[in-house]
Structure 1
């Protein structure tokens, strides 16, 4: 693990696999850290001959935070007032672009989950020269009324910060049960292990609120996505309560030639039984970028 200065902030990242292999940038979601990418899943990707780069978004994990600007006024943001929002999804995409440039990576295959999918989409719009292929997982376009959380999942987003470590871990586990895959429930011990690791590495609920404000305040990407030429794969769980499947369907419909993979029983997580299927699909999409088009 290492740190670089990019786009005016400090970004923590790590890599896996052979640096001589094609680069694959993984972008995590709301309040998530690079350790939220399951190690076994990353191994599957490196096994496909990909050099994986993972990083902490701003305001999460060990990357630069924005605590000095305070909390956004979420009711105002939801009502359309962006004045308390310190950054938007395009700023997070600029962070990712800056990281690639600092690492000397001219082009990368880009994969994002949830908010990370939004960042990956925006990176493809703003820096198409950097993106060899795009995979957007359990994400949406930013179009109003699409990919809206169900009430029980929205309640997970709105939980107040925990008072202590035990409460934070318990809350994270409970939230995972609400939004996770009903067809592939994670073992309790594994959820507790992950929640503890995240808390101990970097518990930053204020940063999560600013990231959420960025999602709400950022513009709809649909029109831009219609211009994307990079091979695009959209993966979504059929049973995702946090960003329902219509978010993925809208993304795939917007991008010319996009492939849509909807997985029954999958919610808003990356369950171990699906790692190989998802990694195989990502690898196949990277090959679409390398193969000449058939005439």
Structure 2
């Protein structure tokens, strides 16, 4: 599982996504080719992103392409192939079946085997198809909740809905296949309290990170999804107590401080300590 807390998303033609992502400490510079780009600017925006990706970028990159069942989505994929360049993460929207993930995965595996695929779950159909979508786990390294389109399916704005059930199902599906679960952006870009509330809820449900649509959101997202000082200290104590690999791989129950721990706690401790290194 890759360590992704924050993806700073922005249209490539409006500002330098990479420099802002680096400046704010975002985990990933996230280019958008879909919703934020009008139809008559798709080709030009794609060309601008491809040009940037040809240069060495000191931060992981992601590109959200257009849906694969559209002309623009196919042109996006062909553009990467023809230019022989791709981001670290390809974000595939409108995923409602395992076939979509498989098509994207097989194409990328042939040309860009190191590129990971994050699927956007953003419709009622997609949510109800999660058990089928994760039948292609080799092609899915991340799942992103698309709250805006999902809420549109429900006929309401995101803030008028309780999205806990949908988020829970996505987090469970992602973690089942050891994929990263990423929460939808907070659309109230200057509402700090709402952002923090959304982050804490998503983290409690099992999400690993969240998309930022404004540079000012990144630091709070990073802080919310990082292990707390208590979690890190507790995890470090577990690993320091179990000094050898035999002890860490043991199935027996141990006592660390006032806590009884078993194999699940050891696996969690290893993940938390590794994420802080």
Q: Same fold (TM over 0.5)?
A: no
Indicate the structure with greater helix content: 2
Higher relative contact order (CA 8 A, sep 6+): 1
TM-score norm. by structure 1 comes to: 0.34
TM-score, normalization by structure 2: 0.36
